[in-house]
Amino acid sequence: MSPSTVAHAQVPRGRRVVNLLLRLLPIVLAGYALFDRTFAWLHFPGVPLFQGELMVGLALIVTASATHTVLPGLKNRIPSTLLLVFVLWGLVRTVPYVGTYHVDAVRDAALWYYAIFGIVVAGLVVSLPHLPRLWAGSYCRLLPWLLLWSIPAIQLDARPGGPYMPDAPVVSWFAHKSGNIAVGGAMALAFLLLVPVEGLGRRKRVLLTVLASLLVAMTATQSRSGLIAAAATVVVMLLMSSRRRQMIAALVVPLVLIVGLAWAVDFKIPARPRPISVTQLAMNLGSLTGGGNSELSDTAQWRDQLWSSLLKETRRSNKLTTGWGFGENLAAKMGFEGERREGPLRSPHNSHLDVLARMGGVGLTIWIALWIAWFTTMIRAVRRATSHDLRFTRGVMGFAIAGVVAILVNAYFDPTLESPQVAMWLWFLFGLGLGVVARERLRREQDVASRAA
């Protein structure tokens, strides 16, 4: 998105702050996609700052100063209302604990407050109809860099290193999780196969599709959660596409060629925690059905023990209805804190279970209802967008659905929604999908009104 284009967005009030958000949002999303947690910090002398929190503050300012721009995003009332209820309940379960846990309460509350972007992005898409095509063009230009960089980035995932910046919280010099890379590769595939973009020729699209397939295959050797998320994304793409045979060929042919060639030459790259090889890929696939080596089984067993311990303690402490609230280190309370490169574990290592643990059955019910409403709204809109003129709109909807599925599946195995590098992408896709649906609904209502007149 060029600054000049954004500068001319017709927003009568709050124009400057809206334009600032429109300039920064693609940059921040691209930074998270490329560098993950390493990109999450800004540092001023003595004061480390989260870029995500600064963006949340900017989104709140946009909501207050350009309310007329944000309100159209609420046109899809059921998912929008449930999102606001989720945010409100999160606030209720956070405020009482700020005095006790201070910054930890606010940090853990990232599980809900990034959802504010869902409404803001939806409102921007309805108020500024050109945004989806601008964002699609920006993402299209980012894809070659993202895919080429992500392939070597897999090997850097577990490299040791010191703090990212002096006096900042300890972050490895490179902290890009292989599961997040897999999600990024799956989203790239969904975009390339679903969204028609001007300027993306057939040759370039085929080349990028091969690169994305290679990336997904490589990350599947490092992360079973990424493997499952990518597989779920492929299923969604097939369901969303009206050209299933062509899509199957576009996915299967390069993947079979890549895996077959790697097996024939015994391709293997030493990496941590696991080597990148066809043998390791087969072991990861086998572990999904109960097989696999002891290291993979130990990881799954550790996760199951943490989850069951937390559920038992939550039930025993009568916290099932409203949860523990935000601020307490739940992993440490269960005796599973451990030592990790990015710092001690604080959550149940499952974002969905974290919703239950911190917000109780009330929060989990809202969470499940929210996603049922969103997916229902999106799927109905996709089914209605059958005309040739709506190919781009249908593609964007399918991309949003596929991206959300990938992120939510990966979040079942990893606490990714508690951090901005994944949460901002999730709620951006949430808002993008709702905004496109609301815009199409407004267009149909205007057509009906004009015919009646």
How far is Cα 405 from Cα 107, in angstroms, rounded to an integer?
Answer: 25
> What pLDDT is attached to residue 25?
93
- Which pTM was predicted? 0.86
* Rounded alpha-carbon distances, angstroms, from residue 364 to 92, 98, 116: 14, 22, 18
> What pLDDT is attached to residue 284?
61
Over residues 187-244, the pLDDT tens digits come to 999 999 899 887 788 888 888 988 888 888 888 777 777 788 888 888 888 887 767 6
How is residue 450 written in tokens?
């004009």
How is residue 136 written in tokens?
């699609």
> What pLDDT is attached to residue 81?
94
Count of domains for the chain: 1
DSSP single-letter state for residue 73: G
Return all residues near 127 (Cβ < 8 A) that are at least 6 apart.
Answer: 11, 68, 69, 72
Q: Check: CB of residue 273 under 8 Å from CB of residue 222.
A: yes
Which residue segment(s) compose the domain that 282 sits in?
A: 3-452
Q: Check: CB of residue 9 under 8 Å from CB of residue 15.
A: yes
How is residue 52 written in tokens?
């995500």
How far is Cα 331 from Cα 100, in angstroms, rounded to an integer?
Answer: 18
DSSP letters spanning 241-286: -S-HHHHHHHHHHHHHHHHHHHHHTT-EE--SSS-EEHHHHHHHHH
Taking the CA atoms of residue 230, residue 235, residue 236 and residue 238 in that order, the dihedral angle to the nearest 10 degrees is 130
How is residue 249 written in tokens?
């060929």
How far is Cα 1 from Cα 124, in angstroms, rounded to an integer?
Answer: 14
> What pLDDT is attached to residue 262?
63
Return all residues near 197 (Cβ < 8 A) that are at least 6 apart.
Answer: 136, 137, 140, 392
Over residues 233-268, the pLDDT tens digits come to 888 888 877 676 666 766 666 667 776 766 665 566
Which residues in 88-103 are b (16+ Cβ under 10 Å) and which e? ebbeebbeebbeebee
- Ranges of residues in the chain whose predicted pLDDT is under 50: 1-12, 47, 159-171, 294, 339-341
Q: Check: CB of residue 346 under 8 Å from CB of residue 329.
A: yes
> What pLDDT is attached to residue 83?
96
How is residue 61 written in tokens?
């300012």
Quick one: how many helices (H) and strands (E) in the chain? Answer: 20, 4
How far is Cα 237 from Cα 189, in angstroms, rounded to an integer?
Answer: 9
